[in-house]
Chain A
Amino acid sequence: MAAIFQGVGAAAPLSSSPSNSFDSNKSVFSPPRSFSVVRSDGIVNLNPKGRSAQRLISNAVATKADSPAASSSSKPGHELLLFEALQEGLEEEMERDPRVCVMGEDVGHYGGSYKVTKGLAKRFGDLRVLDTPIAENSFTGMGIGAAMTGLRPVIEGMNMGFLLLAFNQISNNCGMLHYTSGGQFTIPVVIRGPGGVGRQLGAEHSQRLESYFQSIPGIQMVACSTPYNAKGLMKAAIRSENPVILFEHVLLYNLKERIPDEDYICNLEEAEMVRPGEHVTILTYSRMRYHVMQAAKTLVNKGYDPEVIDIRSLKPFDLHTIGNSVKKTHRVLIVEECMRTGGIGASLTAAITENFNDYLDAPIMCLSSQDVPTPYAGTLEEVTVVQPAQIVTAVEQLCQ
């Protein structure tokens, strides 16, 4: 399995964290601490300030040797893991605006099943970080009612798949109420949670709900993939007046990165240029970004120059960034974890064909997960999702 994150397993996310020195009372402005390094096969963004100025790290796997050098104290910012970045973003927004509250299962005393809300209940109280009973449909609806009457709830689905139970409220009320009320009521909720294929979590805990929610009019969907954009998107989503669904990935919570100390947000509608290139545009999001970057390593060695874009905004698509890339490279490969049928890739293929057909030299290739309920067995699970080797083959095919 290409993605190796130490200690990550949905079974015991709290106890197996590599960050043993994590201080549960950490405040927002703690100085950089030394963590045990997480081996990741993803890119670590060393220049988080400007999207346009991102550098390619040729060694896509961050090793122990790299990090201490990279985290020299003269560099601004602080290092943290992705779930801490989410927590930081959430905490900062809760400080900034007393109407921001959190509701979900086990978000309060337990600290969240992935520790995203750890320590918040102690700090802000049980009403602001509300432990709900197991009633997704109703507490999502409750969050929507609270949003209509002035609060700004962040609703957590313990696993994104559980939000299937809340589909009624998300589709009918979250998406539609602003419209059917003639604009009288806004629903500034953030619905977030971990989704995606984890490590042998079984079919029901490995769902990709972005494909089901994408048709709902009136909502925005974003997917985070690095600590930097996780915090930025979390903050932007909370500040947005629209209902936003923030997709996190179970396997990305322990990614480590250095992020700025100052306040920043990531634009909800923009895509992120991960690696500029010339030969082919690879569009991806969430965890597949790391598979793509690993494949990119191989491709670079083979002489290709892929342009990798993390689309981040799943609905609506950032057709400007994508379009500019298509106009440059004329070849598009979409790599996603969604199912083949009706996934984000399918919509993206349609959108690109509609808007940029003239610029394409080859049909768009879309690599998605198999239309299979994710099997438990590790070997089978591995082949349900897209692997770097397939990405390499696809690029080679595309660039013939």
Chain B
Amino acid sequence: MGRMGFSPKHACLTDEKDPNRQKITNLTSCLLVSCQLNLHCEVRPPFSSKFPLPFFPSLPIGTKATKMSTAFSAANFSTQSFPLNHTSTTSHDSPLVFAKPTSQFLRSTRKLRLSSSSKLNLNRRSGTVVAVSDVVKQKKSKSTPTLLITKEEGLELYEDMVLGRAFEDMCAQMYYRGKMFGFVHLYNGQEAVSTGFIKLLKQQDSVVSTYRDHVHALSKGVPARAVMSELFGKTTGCCRGQGGSMHMFSREHNLLGGFAFIGEGIPVATGAAFTSKYKREVLKEADCDHVTLAFFGDGTCNNGQFFECLNMAALWKLPIVFVVENNLWAIGMSHLRSTSDPQIYKKGPAFGMPGIHVDGMDVLKVREVAKEAIGRARRGEGPTLVECETYRFRGHSLADPDELRDPAEKAHYAARDPITALKKYLTENNLASDAELKAIDKKIDEVVEDAVEFADESPVPPRSQLLENVFADPKGFGIGPDGRYRCEDPKFTEGTAHV
């Protein structure tokens, strides 16, 4: 018997403590918080057939055997240790497996599916998913509407997402004006994931990202000025101009990068989580509960480092959350063309951690899932794999002509713009007025303008900066022929020494 992923006890969506929290039934047209069912869950009656639950038909290609793998259940969160090796093949016994597959999302996707001559298969999901809205619709009809977020939280989320969007748009402008060069990867459309997760973190928690890291940096608290300067290659950038678009680091904000090769940041994130555990258990800093978030994409989920780190994190119960930003495309390679089983969340249970799939265009849904996953990590229960279904509105990078993606697909996701959706939610639930939101838009515009001005006026790195940060201990440059360490050579500090 299975309990839905968000149960009353779980206080995720139905927060008994705060009756003002409402379920997100009307946030967007897509309802996708999906949890896989678990043999050990309890069913949460009653389920009325009035509310058709979404059910994605399984992909025909060889996924049957693994359709219902070990799941993520509310019951397992706080009380039981996660059973590592149960595989469920009888989930169909559960009344939660639904009679009729319907899904607004999937329906709309199917409309977009072109004729059979098209190579693109937009049916990206299979397996059982469960809608949050239907779980909670029962409650909704009985009690007064309760909201998921307070006004302050709502405005914070809105501001963060607008900052991300405005900043990235400005990056595009600046790139085409020749202020920044190289590879610049923009995050438009994926803001809900960054905001939904990172805004729940403390300063001491760590974030590890990929080359698409501007917005992760901004959400984590790195000032827009520092990020823009870094992009311009100025010495006031967060990495002194030495890193660039793909290497955003901030010690103060615990942003551990910015990595150009995919998958290469995941072990680093695992290491940061290891440090957190080490501090608590070896160094006896009993209150150290720092969590690490590792963001990466769908393409990375076919990479060895991903799997190796899932194994190690689950093995040692590291406080880490693996966040997959599945935007369906790895440059021009469709996720469905490169992955034998495109359902990435299923790969979590294979390693002994919960795997969750969430609608990444819906910041409130992402936030709810994030709360749970981060809470799990903080309590020492181990890692979680969260697959966020999202989309990038622009090409892979500013050099990508973006010709392969179907315009209908792009239009479909553009209609689910996370910022528009949150705006609608805030206004419809009277959490904020249009004027307040417009004021935030204006404020962000000014912040971004100021960032550009600051970056423009900042100095470029002088020659003397060339050798300064190669080694933490510059004695590593060695001893020169004259017997002195090379770093003592005056030419070294000028950056003209030959080392």
Contacts and interface: CB of A to CB of B under 8 A. Distances in A.
Contacts of B269: 145
A241 B472 CA distance: 6
Contacts of A178: 469-472
Nearest to B237: A182
Contact of B268 (A148, A220, A269, A321): A148
Interface string B265-287: 01111111111111101110000
A138 B275 contact: no
A181 B247 contact: yes
Contacts of A172: 259-261, 264
B469 A242 contact: no
Contacts of B282: 98, 101, 125, 127-128
Contacts of A168: 261, 264
B271 to A, nearest CB: 2
A146 B308 contact: no
Interface in A148-194: 148-151, 168-169, 172-173, 177-188
Contact of A169 (B267, B468, B499): B267
Given A149-B272, A151-B278, A320 B480 contact: yes
Contacts of B257: 177, 180-181
A147 B278 CA distance: 12
Contact of A144 (B240, B268, B478, B482): B268
A330 to B, nearest CB: 15
Contact of A173 (B264, B473, B478): B264
Contacts of A62: none
A180 B242 contact: yes
Contact of A145 (B237, B268, B470, B482): B268
B264 A133 contact: no
A316 B240 contact: no
A61 interface: no
A217 interface: yes
B264 A169 contact: yes
Contacts of A132: 312
Contact of B308 (A135, A144, A217, A317): A135
B478 A316 contact: yes
A127 B477 contact: no
A146 B312 contact: no
A320 B486 CA distance: 11
Among the interface residues B273, B277, B282, which one has the most CB atoms of the partner chain A within 10 A?
B282
B459 interface: no
A345 interface: no
B283 A183 contact: no
Contacts of A217: 470
B439 interface: no
B475 interface: yes
Interface residues on B, range: 35 or more
A169 B311 CA distance: 18
Interface stretch (B39-47, B248-256, B383-391): B248-256
B473 A101 contact: no
B206 interface: yes
B394 to A, nearest CB: 24
Contacts of B242: 179-182
Given A145-B269, A217-B470, A316 B278 contact: no
Interface string B185-201: 00000000000000000
Contacts of A188: 472
Nearest to B269: A145
Contact of A148 (B271, B279, B470, B476): B271
A225 B476 CA distance: 20
B374 to A, nearest CB: 17
A270 interface: yes
Give 10 closest A-B pairs by Cβ, nearest first: A145-B271, A141-B267, A316-B478, A182-B240, A181-B249, A145-B268, A182-B239, A138-B308, A135-B308, A183-B469
28 contacts: A127-B277, A127-B281, A127-B282, A133-B308, A141-B264, A145-B267, A146-B274, A149-B256, A151-B274, A151-B275, A169-B267, A172-B260, A173-B259, A173-B264, A179-B242, A179-B470, A180-B239, A181-B469, A183-B469, A184-B239, A185-B251, A220-B471, A241-B473, A269-B479, A319-B480, A320-B483, A321-B479, A356-B481
Given A127-B278, A269-B485, 14 more contacts: A133-B311, A139-B312, A140-B267, A141-B271, A141-B305, A145-B270, A177-B249, A177-B257, A178-B472, A183-B472, A240-B476, A268-B475, A316-B476, A316-B478
